[in-house]
């Protein structure tokens, strides 16, 4: 798993969401390690607070509907190293979908839910059972949804480390780049068009006195993109906003060597109240018509008043 120093990712409460699941973390919980190498099929997050580890969440594709109670009983028996495990008490949450299981005070306890539409088994393991700990995790379990694409907008919602984005349906998660103060999520569709979504913290340090347009131009130029046009837009709720057109060599197969340059569209805005810059880039062929669909990726964040 990737271990990350996340002291700078402090957030009072944020949602964790990928294709197949979404839930709201308890306050002050942070993702301290993750495994997203094949996130469409399986993955894992570890959570902690300043007091220490709190538990793990994992998901995996399976071939048939599981017997969740039997799975939890067997996992706990193996954990204890005993031939027979103590009686496990089960309660149901999120309209009966999520199982919460515990045995004795101080032993680790479990929660699990099955997403039938994605054939995805989602499982939590928490470190030590207590009444207070149970009361802490129950709201998180009640907040669980399958996070299916919105049928009206045909958008898929993603959220990690407080970075949220609503993408056109058909883009799948590729990887995550998380370092202190900055987060990037990368996505790709069947045509190999790419979307990258960013959040830069400590924006005033990054910009070094420059404006948003100058800062983001330097970011794209550093990736060896050919900048075609930069447009400073009127502020939205006080957020300095910029759009940039650029081109880059095709990123798939022979396009990289012989094909035409792909067309890119990027947008960024500076939210001063958070001292953060939110940005995204889309890179596709010259025939891509997705630009207008992408302008509201951060619509909720951009229109939220400071």
Render pLDDT for 120-161 as a digit per residue (tens, 0 to 9).
999 999 999 999 999 999 999 999 999 999 999 899 999 999
Token digits of residue 99:
């199982």
pTM (two decimals): 0.87
Residues with Cβ within 8 Å of residue 234, at least 6 apart in sequence: 241
Cβ atoms within 10 Å, residue 239: 22
At 71 the three-state DSSP class reads helix
CA–CA gap between residue 290 and residue 304 (Å, rounded): 24
- Residue 192 falls in which region: left (phi positive, over 0), alpha (psi -120 to 50) or beta: left
- Which top CATH class is 2-142? alpha beta
What is the per-residue pLDDT across 217-231, written as a single tens digit (0 to 9) for each?
999 999 889 999 999
Tell me how many helices (H) and strands (E) the chain has: 6, 19
Beta bridge partners of 115: 120
For domain 155-303, give the CATH number: 3.40.1000.10
Cβ-Cβ contacts under 8 Å for 65 (sequence gap 6 or more): 114, 116
Question: Which DSSP string corresponds to 186-235?
Answer: EEE-TT--EEEEEEESSHHHHHTT--HHHHHHHHHHHTT-EEEEEEEEEE
Instruction: Transcribe 88-146 into DSSP letters.
Output: PEEEEETTTTEEEEE-STTS-EEEEEEETTTTEEEEEEES---HHHHHHHHHHHHT-B-
| Same topology between domain 2-142 and domain 155-303 | yes
Domain ranges of the chain: 2-142, 155-303
pLDDT in tens, 13-56: 689 999 999 999 998 898 999 999 999 999 999 999 998 999 99
Confidence class for position 253, pLDDT limits 50, 70, 90: low
């Amino acid at each position: 798993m990737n271990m990350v120093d996340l002291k700078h990712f402090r957030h009072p409460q944020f949602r964790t969401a990928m294709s197949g699941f979404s839930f709201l973390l308890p306050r002050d919980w942070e993702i301290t390690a993750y495994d997203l190498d094949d996130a469409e099929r399986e993955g894992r997050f570890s959570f902690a607070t300043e007091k220490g580890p709190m538990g793990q969440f994992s998901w995996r594709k399976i071939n048939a509907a599981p017997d969740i109670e039997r799975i939890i009983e067997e996992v706990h028996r193996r954990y204890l190293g005993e031939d027979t495990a103590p009686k496990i008490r089960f309660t149901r949450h999120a309209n009966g979908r999520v199982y919460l299981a515990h045995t004795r005070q101080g032993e680790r306890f479990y929660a699990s839910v099955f997403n039938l539409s994605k054939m995805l088994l989602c499982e939590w393991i928490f470190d030590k059972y207590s009444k207070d700990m149970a009361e802490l995790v129950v709201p998180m379990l009640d907040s669980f949804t399958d996070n299916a694409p919105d049928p009206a907008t045909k958008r898929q919602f993603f959220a990690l480390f407080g970075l949220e984005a609503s993408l056109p349906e058909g883009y799948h998660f590729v990887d995550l780049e998380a370092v202190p103060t900055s987060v990037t999520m990368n996505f790709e569709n069947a045509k190999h068009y790419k979307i990258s979504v960013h959040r830069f913290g400590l924006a005033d340090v990054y910009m070094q006195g420059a404006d948003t347009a100058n800062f983001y131009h330097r970011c794209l130029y550093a990736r060896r993109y050919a900048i075609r046009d930069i447009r400073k837009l009127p502020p939205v709720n006080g957020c300095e906003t910029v759009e940039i057109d650029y081109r880059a060599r095709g990123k798939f197969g022979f396009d990289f060597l012989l094909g035409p340059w792909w067309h890119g569209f990027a947008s960024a805005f500076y939210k001063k109240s958070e001292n953060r810059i939110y940005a995204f880039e889309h890179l596709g062929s010259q025939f891509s018509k997705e630009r207008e669909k992408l302008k509201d990726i951060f619509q909720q964040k951009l229109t939220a008043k400071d």
